[in-house]
Amino acid sequence: MKKITLALLFSTLAFTAAQAVAADDLAAIKSSGTITFGTEGTYAPYTFHDEIDKLVGFDVDLGRAVAQKLGVKAKFIEGRWDGLIAGLDGKRYDAVINQVGITPERQAKYDFSKPYIDSKVVLITRDDNTTIKNFSDLKGQKSAQSLTSNYSQLASKYGADIVPTDSFTQSIGLVITGRAAATFNDNLSFLDFKKHQPNVKVKVAASEPANAPSGILVRKNQTALVDAINKALDEIKVDGTYKTISLRYFGQDVSQ
């Protein structure tokens, strides 16, 4: 009986300690006056550098707006996509804002805010490619993708051979040079790419609704932080900030 009582006591203490740690993340952010986000900085129009090398983008501006609602400043640490989520595990930052798809696999290890954007998945090929007309045509073809992205999982699902890349720009480059037949990404990124490089010979061969809407990623059991971020996202939509950011980067309101 004594062993059972002690076991229950230790279990209760561990649970209480876990709750305290979870609560401390938001408290630490408030105390420091800064929320730190991990992001790529190479993925237009979501997170990229403008002509004067300032970090900008839909996700960057949204992160700054969320921080303002939390009463703190936003700080961004840039990194390659395939190491971005691992940086959260290493506590390099408090959250990741980088079009992170909300998938069951990620939800098992991390917490997410509510979705803040959803877009179509597009299959991009060279404009002279007549072989790939839909997703099923990708079987046995090379698809250029970041290995840990949900687009890589989607390409594998359709039987593609994955060519690893570090960014959307690199993926497009491999398609243009013929080192890959195609790449998956979202339609808003593709439209932004074509807006800035209209003469590049690529096209959308097929599209479908996104396989995963995107959310702000945080460490597991961060209920207080998730609730605070969700409240901030709601307020941003109500007061028109979200619409303003949408129009700035997409020319239309993309709120859900």
- DSSP labels for 189-232? HHHHHHHH-TTS-EEEEEEEE-SS-EEEEEETT-HHHHHHHHHH
pLDDT value for 30:
96
181 and 62 within one domain:
no
50 and 174 within one domain:
no
Is it true that the peptide bond before 164 is cis, omega within 30 degrees of 0? no
Q: What is each CA distance from 224 to 12, 16, 25, 112, 236, in whole angstroms?
A: 20, 15, 8, 12, 18
pLDDT value for 17:
45
Q: Does 90 map to a domain?
A: yes
Q: Does 200 map to a domain?
A: yes
Domain with residue 100: its CATH number is 3.40.190.10
**Of 23, 192, 182, nearest in space to 99 by CA:** 192
129 and 62 within one domain:
no
201 and 135 within one domain:
yes
End-to-end CA distance of the chain: 55
pLDDT value for 252:
82
127 and 25 within one domain:
no
User: Is 72 in contact with 30 (CB distance < 8 Å)?
Assistant: yes
| C-alpha Rg value of the chain to the nearest Å | 20
Total number of domains in the chain:
2
128 and 235 within one domain:
no
Q: Does 255 map to a domain?
A: no
DSSP of 119-181: -EEEEEEETT--S--SGGGGTTSEEEE-TTSHHHHHHHHTTPEEEE-SSHHHHHHHHHHTSSS
Q: Does 256 map to a domain?
A: no
199 and 175 within one domain:
yes
11 and 65 within one domain:
yes
Flag residues of the chain having pLDDT under 70. Answer: 1-23, 210-211, 256
65 and 100 within one domain:
yes
User: Torsion angle of alpha carbons 229, 231, 235, 236, nearest 10°?
Assistant: 20
pLDDT value for 256:
58
129 and 40 within one domain:
no
Q: Does 29 map to a domain?
A: yes
Residue 71 structural domain: 2-117+214-250
pLDDT value for 211:
64
159 and 221 within one domain:
no
